[in-house]
Amino acid sequence: MQQHEIRHFVERYFRANECAILEANDEYMTVQLTIEMDKELMNRPFYWHYIERTGGTPQPMQLTLITKSTEKTKALQGERLHFGSPRLHQIFRSAQKRGSFIRLYEEPDASQHTHIPLHPWLGLNVKISYQCDRKKDQILSLGLHLISGTIIEQFHEFLLKRKLTPKIPDYCFTISPLIKPKSGIGRLEQYIRSRIAADDHTWAEKAEERWAEDLALLDHFYEEIEEKPECYYIEKEALEQQYKPRIIVSVINGGIFYLLPRS
């Protein structure tokens, strides 16, 4: 994840959670947290317990996040944000918890005034993990048009080009889906299965070869022992855990998106 992508993601995260962006540029941003977001991010349970017990006036904190190192930001009081930083991972966890499912609507151009149809799409972001003694993760973003059944990849990038809002815009109406979301999820699941089946699985074959080589060494070490000790079976099981190829698909988040039809 590049710095400009981190910067864009974090700003969208705070705006989506109704935090005021007091100052923002390519180098840093300063955010006024809401009470809810202060409780979630700033780890001040004693402060909030005191305020709630005494009826005091709450004062949520401001947070300055630095995304680019410059002469100006070197002297700035704030947290440096980069891929792998604890604060960014905390924001990722919060976004996943809060945004596991969402419903958004596309805003039309100002030139369009009345009776604008919005078509339903089901969006799903999933992580495909290829695991053996090595690991590779792949993020797949899929969109299913709930009228035609069309499936597109890179749906997240598709959405970034659109202006989305949590409330249906004026003069718009939604088209009822012909494909129900539950059925749509089944279609996307089948698409993912077919995509995985079409992948190159040389990695799994190589892992099984390495597994067989280490297992042969283990058997050779104990070959003169007729009754194998418990440690032999423990090591054998450990080799299986280490080398056995596995493909794990996990859902990151998803949503229903009502979008303007495209020709």
Q: Do residues 119 and 75 both lie within one domain? A: no
Which string of b and e fits 77-89 if b means at least 16 CB within 10 Å? eeeebeeeeeebe
Q: Do residues 51 and 144 both lie within one domain? A: no
What is the model's pLDDT at position 263? 55
Residues forming beta bridges with residue 164, ordered by sequence position: 106
Nearest to 70 by CA among 27, 109, 110: 27
Q: Do residues 172 and 253 both lie within one domain? A: yes
Which string of b and e fits 158-174 if b means at least 16 CB within 10 Å? bbeeeeeeeebeeebee
What is the model's pLDDT at position 101? 79
Q: How many independent structural domains does the chain possess?
A: 2
Residue where one domain finishes, among candidates 62, 81, 99: 99
How many C-alpha atoms does 245 have within 13 Å on its Cβ side? 12
Domain assignment present for residue 34? The answer is: yes
Place of tokens 């993601």: 9
Rounded Cα distance, 241 and 55, in Å: 54
Place of tokens 């494909």: 179
What is the model's pLDDT at position 154? 93
Q: Do residues 24 and 50 both lie within one domain? A: yes
Q: Do residues 127 and 47 both lie within one domain? A: no
pLDDT digits (tens, 9 = 90+) for 211-235: 999 999 999 999 888 888 999 999 9
pLDDT digits (tens, 9 = 90+) for 119-164: 999 999 999 999 999 998 889 999 999 999 999 999 999 998 898 9
Which residues form the domain of 195?
A: 108-201+249-259
User: What is the 8-class DSSP label of residue 58?
Assistant: P
Q: What is the 3-state secondary structure (H, E, C) of 180-223?
A: CHHHHHHHHHHHHHHHHHCCCCHHHHHHHHHHHHHHHHHHHHCC
Record the tokens describing residue 64, joined without a space. Answer: 């300055």
Instruction: Give every residue of the chain whose pLDDT is below 70, as ranges.
Output: 1, 99, 111-113, 263
What is the model's pLDDT at position 144? 97
What is the model's pLDDT at position 123? 95
Rounded Cα distance, 163 and 127, in Å: 26
Domain assignment present for residue 208? The answer is: no
